[in-house]
Amino acid sequence: MVTIFEAAHHLRRVVPISKWTPIFLLVGLVVALLIWRPLARSLGWRSFPTLIALLSLAGASAMTLSPRGWYGNYKTLEQCLPSTLGDVADSASKVGGSMESLLNVGMLFPLGCALVVASRRAVWPALLVVLLPAAIEISQATVVPGRQCSTTDFLANALGGLIGIVAGVVIDRMWRARERQAEPVLTNS
């Protein structure tokens, strides 16, 4: 039987957290809780999915942008970019091949899903869940100490976000159908 300490140690090896991660997460959660209702009102978004989107963004940011020590980055941005289609295919073949990769797929799933349900749109959230991992990997290569950029991580994050977009479209359609059923029927009398 695996103890809690062994599981936590294994999770720490798989999930790249640092002592800064809880601080980044707490700040993100506070900001999300302060702005979600005014943001939803001003944009005309659904309230609860807006909160879920902001909390997802806070969690993803804390997990990927918190420093891991004060050492420099392991790779330069140039080393992170694939130079051939073979490099892209090699990175793509690794997506989902490890627990870390599966967690990377799942990281942006809730953000993509919640953005679609909140905004009732799919195109710009799809662009966001593809561009956000690119920004994360560029930041990890250039700004965030102790982080390592990875084409595989980018592909896994983008894939998870796009799967979330598809799930969000399905949920949004169901939500709209429920809203239509709840509307009172007006009759001409």
Query: Which pLDDT tens digit goes with each residue over 13-65?
Result: 666 677 888 899 999 999 999 999 999 999 999 999 999 999 999 999 998 88
Name the more confident of 83 and 34. Answer: 34
Residue 158 has pLDDT above 90, yes or no: yes
Number of domains in the chain: 1
The H-assigned helical ranges of the chain are 4-14, 21-43, 47-65, 77-80, 85-94, 99-107, 109-119, 123-142, 151-182
pLDDT interval class at 69 (50, 70, 90): low
**Residue 1 confidence (pLDDT):** 55
pTM: 0.84
Is the residue at 187 inside a domain?
Answer: no
Is the residue at 86 inside a domain?
Answer: yes
- Range of 31's domain? 4-68+76-182
Question: Do residues 37 and 104 lie in contact, with contact meaning Cβ atoms separated by under 8 Å?
Answer: no
Over residues 97-122, mean pLDDT: 93
**Residue 113 confidence (pLDDT):** 98
Is the residue at 188 inside a domain?
Answer: no
d(CA 63, CA 16): 7
Number of other residues whose CB lies within 10 A of the CB of residue 71: 10
